[in-house]
């Protein structure tokens, strides 16, 4: 895990967390909040937006390697104020799999800064 010093500016990111590998689960409260935001019943929301239901009954609105259906062409979340708990709690610099963090860091910093940091951290 990383520390707060690794934090990036999500506003400057190309929304890698919404476009790369990973799932977004919606719990009952998430479905209610998203349905209300979209002007749908919970049932209508789930019929239209749940892309996968696991064997354990978890519902997902983003599957595997797919881009999130709520990501706009401008790379902004179209349901941001109602976004699911998984999205609210996600910071790419705080998760074990650092793939998204490394893509985002590279995109936000100059090549010289990335190279200098990598050398300082002992990476070649």
Per-residue model confidence (pLDDT) at position 4: 55
Domains identified in the chain, total number: 1
Residue 51 belongs to what domain range? 4-120
- C-alpha span between 8 and 12 (Å, rounded): 8
**Which runs of E-coded beta strand occur in 23-80?**
24-26, 52-53, 59-62
As a whole number of Å, the end-to-end CA separation of the chain is: 20
Tens-level pLDDT at each residue, the chain (124 residues): 445 556 788 888 888 888 887 899 999 999 999 999 999 999 999 999 999 999 999 999 998 889 999 999 999 999 999 999 999 988 888 888 888 888 888 787 766 777 787 788 887 6
pTM here is: 0.77
Per-residue model confidence (pLDDT) at position 124: 66
Q: Cα angle vertex 32, ends 30, 33, to 5°?
A: 65
């Amino acid at each position: 895990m990383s520390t707060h010093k690794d934090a990036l500016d999500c506003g400057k990111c190309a929304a890698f967390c919404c476009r790369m590998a990973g799932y977004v689960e919606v719990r009952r409260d998430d479905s209610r909040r998203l349905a209300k935001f979209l002007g749908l019943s919970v049932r209508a929301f789930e019929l239209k937006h749940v892309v996968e239901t696991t064997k354990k009954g978890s519902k997902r609105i983003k599957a595997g390697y797919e881009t999130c259906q709520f990501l706009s062409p401008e790379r902004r979340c179209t349901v941001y104020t109602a976004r699911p708990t998984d999205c609210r709690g996600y910071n790419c610099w705080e998760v074990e799999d650092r793939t998204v963090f490394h893509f985002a860091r590279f995109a936000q910093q100059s090549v010289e800064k990335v190279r200098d940091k990598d050398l300082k951290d002992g990476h070649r």
